[in-house]
Amino acid sequence: MLVRDLETMAREAARLARHPVVALDTETSGLDPLTDTLLLVAFSNGVDTLLCDVRGLPVEGVRAALAPLVEGGPVKALHHAKFDLRMLMPLGLEVRPLADTMLNEQILENGRRESGFSLSELSSRYLGLPLDKAERQGFIRMAPDEAFTPAQLEYARRDVLATWQILVQQMARVQREGARKVARLEALAVPAFADMEQRGVLVDAVAWREVIRRAQAEGDAARAEMDRHFRKVANVDLLGAVDLNYDSDVDVRDALGKLGVHLQSTQKGELLHSGHPAAVALVAYREAHKLVSTYGESFLSHVHPRTGRIHASFRQIGASTGRVSCERPNLQNVPKDSALRSCFHAPPGRALITADYAACELRILAHLSRDPVFLAAFERGEDVHAKVASQVFGVPVSKQSHPELRERAKAISFGLIYGMGAAGLAAQTGQSLDEAEALLAQYFRQFPRIDATLHDLERQVRERGYAQTVLGRRLYLERDFLDRQSGAAARLSRNMPIQGTSADITKLAMAFIHERLRGRDAFLVNTVHDELLIECPAAEAERVGAEVKQEMERAMAAVVPGVSPLAEVRVGDTWAKG
C-alpha cells in the first residue's frame, strides 16, 4: 500500500502498531544524512507493506502520523539502523525499541566471517534470494515531484519485507547462541551512535593549522639534518639535493647501512638504539611527517561544509573484540599532544566534558578473578598498581617512595591483559629473561586467582571454540587456529574477554547517557574505548558531568557487579588530557 496523505498514513501506521515486530526501511535521495533527504518510509509486518511517501508533507504532520508506530509499540527491525535513524531525525522521530539485523549478524558471525553483512547478502543466506541494489540509484536521481515507478516501489517493498523475514529467523539463532544480551546492548546503543555522528564535533581549524605548520617546520629541519649525513653516501642531483626518499623504509635502511648503521628494520626503537644522528633525525622527521600527513589537511578535509564540524563514521562493532572503530577521520587515534587535542572545543557558551573509566580493564580482571587485593584496592579507592607492587616486591610501595617498582607492577598487570609472556616483559623492562620469569612467578604466587582466571579463560576457549565477554559476546575461533601451538590463540583467549567486556561497558554507558540527556541540548560527540566526550551548555556542565559519571558507573556496575566502578570526569571547553 502506497500512501501520500497524512490521514491514511496515520490510520495505517496505527494498524501496524498492533503487531509485535514491524520492519522499517527508508529510501532517500542519497547516502549523506546531512545533505540528502528522506523520500519514502517503508514498513512491513511480514505480510502487508506500508510505503509512506513523505515528500512535501509537513514535518509535524508526518511525525504525528508515524509516532505511534515508530516511537514505542512494536520492535522495529532495521538493517544498519544507524543510517535510517539519522535520516528520520529531521522529522523529529526516534525509533524505539529497535533491532538491527546487520549488528545481529556481525554478533553471530564474529570470527567466522569478516564481510558479507549487506542486506542483499543476508537475504541470500537466510531467504535464498539476493536483492538487487541497482534500483536504489533511481531514488538518488529523482526529481522532487516525480512519481515513484513500479520498479522502485517493488524494490522498497522487497527490502523491508526481507528485513522482517531475516529478523524473525535471526532471533532464533540469537537465542540459540546466547547472544540475546549483546544483541540487546548493541540495539540500545544505536541511537547514541546515530546522534553522535549527526551532531559531529567542533574543531578549531585555525589553531589546528598552526600546530601542523610547526610540525612541518620541524620536519623540514629533520630532513636537512638527514641531508647533511646522507650527502656522503647517496646520489646528489644537479641542484645539489640528496636523491633519497625518506619515506621509503628500504631506501633509508640501505643508506643507513652505508653509514655503518645496520638495522633489521627501521622501527623507532631500533633507530634510536643505534644512536646515529641520521637515525635520530629520521625519527624526528617521521613524527613530524605523521602529523602533517595523517593529521594535517587530510584530517581537516573532513570538516563538513554545512555544519563546520567533523562527522566521523563509527563502526559500532568495528573490532573482533566488540570494540568500536572509527574512520573518515579516525577520532580514536588523535595524538595526545595537548596542542592538538585542545583544538577540539565547545562552541561559545558551551562546554566539553571529558569522562573516562579509571583502570577499566583491571577492574574487569578483578571481577573475573575475584582477587581480594584488587577488589579491596578498588573498593577503598587506593592506588592499585602501588598495592600490587607492594605485594609482589614485599616492600611498601607508593607513587612517591618507589615509582620504578610501581611502574614495573603496572607493566605486568597490563601485560597480562594482552597475554604477555616473560620474553615480552624482559624486553619491556630491560631485564634478563630469567629475571622476568622470576618476577612473573612471584606475581602469580601473590595473585593465584588471577593466574587461575587467565588459565581458565584459555581452557574455556579450547573447550567451547569461542572466547566471550561477561555479557556473552562471542569471538569464534577456528579449531585449526586453537590447535596450532603458536601462543596467539592463548593471548586472544585472555585478551578478548577483557577488552570486549570493556567495550560492552562503554556501549552500555553510551546508551544510558544518550537516554539521560535526551531532549536536553547535551550530547555525546566522541567515544574512545574507555573515554567519552560530551558537549553541553556551559551553565549546565557541572550537573551534566555528574550525571555522566553516574551513568558510566551504573553501566560498569551492571556488567561487573561486585567491583567498585569509577569514572573520572573533567569539565572544560576543550578535549582535556585523558
- Which of 26, 123, 321, 526 contacts DNA by CB under 7 A? 321
248 touches DNA by CB under 7 A: yes
Does residue 137 bind DNA (CB under 7 A)? Answer: no
**Interatomic CA distance for residues 351 and 571, integer angstroms:** 7
The string over 405-418, giving b where at least 16 C-beta atoms fall within 10 Å of a residue's C-beta and e elsewhere, is: bbebbbbbbebbbe
From the list 48, 218, 249, 553, which residue makes contact with DNA (rule: CB under 7 A)? 249
Instruction: Please give the Cα distance from 223 to 215 (Å, whole number).
Output: 12
Q: How far is the CB of 274 from DNA (least distance, A)?
A: 13
C-alpha cell of residue 154: 517493488
Out of 395, 423, 433, 546, the only residue in the binding site for DNA (CB under 7 A) is 423
> Rounded to the nearest whole angstrom, what is the least distance from the CB of residue 516 to DNA in the complex?
22
- Shortest spacing between CB 578 and DNA, in angstroms: 4
Residue from 170, 320, 453, 501 that binds DNA (CB under 7 A)? 320
According to the binding rule CB under 7 A, does residue 492 interact with DNA?
yes
Contact range with DNA by CB under 7 A, out of 169-177, 244-252, 378-386, 508-516: 244-252
Residue from 46, 178, 318, 537 that binds DNA (CB under 7 A)? 318
Please state the closest distance from residue 316 (CB atom) to DNA, in A.
Answer: 11
Q: Out of 326, 346, 548, 567, which residue is the one contacting DNA (CB under 7 A)?
A: 326
* Nearest-approach distance from CB 122 to DNA, in angstroms: 21
The C-alpha atoms of residue 119 and residue 104 are separated, in whole angstroms, by: 12
Which string of DSSP letters, residue by residue, matches 105-174?
A: HHHHTTTT-SS--SHHHHHHHHHS-----TTHHHHHT--TTPPPPHHHHHHHHHHHHHHHHHHHHHHHHH
SS (H, E, C) 288-302: HHHHHHHCCHHHHCC
**How far does Cα 330 stand from its chain's mean position?**
9
Near DNA by CB under 7 A: residue from 60, 337, 404, 483: 337
d(CA 477, CA 456): 16
Rounded to whole angstroms, how far apart are CA atoms 409 and 88? 51
What Cα–Cα distance (Å) separates residue 483 from each residue in 130, 351, 404, 565?
Answer: 36, 52, 39, 37
Q: In the β-sheet with 71-78, what is the strand arrangement from edge to edge?
A: 2-3, 49-53, 38-44, 21-28, 71-78, 96-100
Q: Is 254 helix (H, G, I), strand (E, B) or coil?
A: helix
In angstroms, what is the minimal distance from the CB of 78 to DNA? 22
Helix (H) or strand (E) holding 353: strand 350-357
Please identify, using beta-carbon distances, which residue of 39 and 496 lies nearer to DNA: 496
Shortest distance, position 567 Cβ to DNA, whole Å: 13
432 binds DNA, rule: CB under 7 A: no
Among the residue ranges 289-297, 432-440, 447-455, 515-523, the one whose residues contact DNA (CB under 7 A): 289-297
338 binds DNA (CB under 7 A): no
Rule CB under 7 A: say whether 576 interacts with DNA.
no
Lookup: cell for 449: 586467582
Q: Which of 191, 200, 329, 497 binds DNA (CB under 7 A)?
A: 329
- Given the complex with DNA, which of 64 and 411 has the nearer CB atom? 411
**For the chain, what's the residue count?**
578
Under DSSP, the state recorded for 73 is: E
Q: Which is nearer to DNA, 28 or 526 (CB)?
A: 526
- Taking CB under 7 A as the rule, does residue 327 contact DNA? yes
The residue within the footprint of DNA, chosen from 499, 501, 526, 574 (CB under 7 A), is: 499
Size of the site for DNA (CB under 7 A): 66
Q: How far is the CB of 86 from DNA (least distance, A)?
A: 19
Q: How far is the CB of 140 from DNA (least distance, A)?
A: 20
User: What are residue 427's DSSP bridge partners?
Assistant: none
The smaller minimum CB distance to DNA, of residues 38 and 317, is found at 317
Q: Is 267 in the site for DNA (CB under 7 A)?
A: yes
Beta strands, E only, 409-556? 466-468, 474-476, 523-527, 531-537
Q: How far apart are CA 357 and CA 344, in angstroms?
A: 20
Interaction pattern, residues 516-535, with DNA; x per rule: CB under 7 A:
------------xxxx----
Give the chain's largest Cα–Cα span.
83
DSSP bridge partners of 50: 43
| Distance, CA of 309 to CA of 126 (rounded, Å) | 40
Q: Cβ 166 to DNA, closest distance in Å?
A: 24
Verify binding: residue 431, DNA, rule CB under 7 A.
no
Binding to DNA, residues 361-420 (CB under 7 A): 411, 414-416, 418-420
Residue among 28, 49, 266, 574 that touches DNA (CB under 7 A)? 266
Please count the other Cβ atoms lying within 10 Å of the Cβ belonging to residue 305.
7
CB 64 within 8 A of CB 10: yes
Mask: binding to DNA, 151-190, rule CB under 7 A, as x and -? Answer: ----------------------------------------
The residue (of 66 and 310) whose beta carbon lies closer to DNA is: 310
The answer to whether the beta carbons of residues 526 and 311 sit under 8 Å apart is no
In a 3-state reduction of DSSP, which class is residue 27?
Answer: strand
Query: Which of 37/486 has CB closer to DNA?
Result: 486
Among 61, 130, 424, 572, the residue binding DNA under the rule CB under 7 A is 424
CA angle 176, 177, 183 (to 5 degrees): 105
Binding mask 190-229 for DNA (x = CB under 7 A): ----------------------------------------
Task: Candidates 228, 273, 306, 336: give the one binding DNA (CB under 7 A).
Answer: 336
The answer to whether 573 touches 561, Cβ cutoff 8 Å, is no
Residues engaged in binding DNA (CB under 7 A)? 245, 247-251, 265-268, 271, 283, 286-287, 289-290, 293-294, 298-299, 315, 318-321, 323, 325-330, 332-337, 411, 414-416, 418-421, 423-425, 427-428, 484-488, 491-492, 495-496, 499, 528-531, 578
